Amino acid sequence: MGWLEGKVALVTGGASGLGLGIVQRFLAEGAEVGVLDASATKLGELSELVGDRVTCVRGDVRSLEDNRRAVETLVGRRGRLDIFIGNAGIWDGSTSLVDLPEDSLDAAFDEVMGVNVKGYLLGARAATPHLVRSRGTMIFTVSNAGFYVGGGGPLYTLSKHAVVGLVRQLAHELAPVVRVNGVAPGAVPSDLRGPKSLGLADKSIREFDMKSVAEQIMPLPMVPTPADQAGSYVYLASAANSPAATGIVINSDCGIGVRGLWAVRGGADLVERFGSLPGA
């Protein structure tokens, strides 16, 4: 029996990348899942992959009407909503302040904040009545950029810091009925793209050489897959396993916050000194 047996979850941006990894893991844990995504093509591919256990709704997370339609469609089909996961997002391509074109700055700000922050707020508003009834939970995808610099440019970093504030405020407002938490992954090879206003709609984050960067600076020199990150969402979604967790963000970022001021030792000397168990 899975950790989420009998639960119903809605995942925004769940048709690809990290969202898809969350959807697949939730299904494996016994949940029924709904997905709100802007791409009809990706939703079609998702339906072919997982079948009718996923309720697919095409829409824009920046629209309250689309968020409500996704919630009501899922509730109409499954009878309840236990988990809302705000996950849809865009990245600014690490475009620095001085490289942001002045004639695109307003539009880029509105686009990044609209998807990454407003989209979460509207999804939360649409989901709240049903989560109150089920004594459910919300989980928001943050990012290492919600805590540290360098994970994006000022637009992305600003948006993800705002999400941390949203997690904490909603955890306060909705307590003790609905738990609200977040997960802050580091770099994930996904289809995360940039704003159209900066000409980055066709540029995916997976085009960047994340592996070489991770090997140089990360305490855990790896680039986790979406499947690697999904367990944190399962933990927070499970009332049986995280009943006391609200207002927290799990930093699942390979140790960005403990990089320190010198190079990571690599661990070879530790293995040489203490050895390792077979298969470890």
| Token pair for 70 | 């996704």
Predicted pLDDT of residue 47: 94
Q: How many residues does the chain have?
A: 280
Alpha-carbon distance 253 to 266, whole Å? 17
Amino acid at 63: S
Residue found by looking up tokens 């899942």 in the block: 33
Give the model confidence (pLDDT) of 215-228 as tens digits: 778 888 888 999 99
**Residue for token pair 């997960």:** 183
Residue whose pair of structure tokens reads 């996704």 in the numeric block: 70
Q: How far is CA 35 from CA 66, 125, 218, 241, 268, in A?
A: 12, 16, 33, 24, 43
The matching CATH number, chosen from 1.10.760.10, 3.40.50.720, 3.40.50.2000, 3.40.50.1860, for 8-274 is 3.40.50.720
Better-scored residue on pLDDT, 28 or 205? 28
Q: Does the structure show a pLDDT above 70 at 206?
A: no
Taking residues 248-272, what's their average pLDDT? 85
pLDDT in tens, 159-189: 999 999 999 999 999 999 999 999 999 988 7
Residues above pLDDT 70, as percent of the chain: 97
**DSSP, res 49:** H
- CB environment 34-45: b (16+ within 10 A), e (fewer): bbbbbeeebbee
Tell me what pLDDT residue 267 has.
Answer: 78
Nearest of 78, 76, 160, 170 to residue 123 by alpha carbon:
170
Mean per-residue pLDDT, 37-57:
94
Helix runs in the chain, H state only: 17-28, 40-50, 64-78, 105-113, 119-134, 154-174, 210-217, 226-237, 268-274
User: What is the model's pTM?
Assistant: 0.93
- 156 part of the active site: yes
DSSP 182: E
Both structure tokens of 234: 């399962």
Q: What is the mean pLDDT of the chain?
A: 92
Which of the four pLDDT bands, split at 50, 70 and 90, describes residue 271? confident
Instruction: Please tell me the predicted confidence (pLDDT) of residue 155.
Output: 97
> Rounded to an integer, what is the distance from CA 151 to the centroid of its chain?
15
pLDDT number for residue 15:
96
pLDDT tens digit sequence for 68-93: 999 999 999 999 999 999 999 999 98
Distance in angstroms (rounded) separating the CA atoms of residues 70 and 73? 5
3-state secondary structure at position 56: strand
pLDDT higher for 50 or 193?
A: 50
Buried b (16+ CB within 10 A) or exposed e, 161-175: bbbbebbbebbeebe
Structure tokens at 126: 């649409």
From CA 100, how far away is CA 92, in angstroms rounded? 10
Rounded to 5 degrees, what are φ and ψ at 168? -70, -40
The closest alpha carbon to 192, from 87, 56, 54, 109, belongs to 87
Tell me which of 120, 148, 156, 235 is the catalytic residue.
156
Mean predicted confidence (pLDDT) in 118-144: 98
Residues 105, 115, 203, 259, CA torsion sign: positive
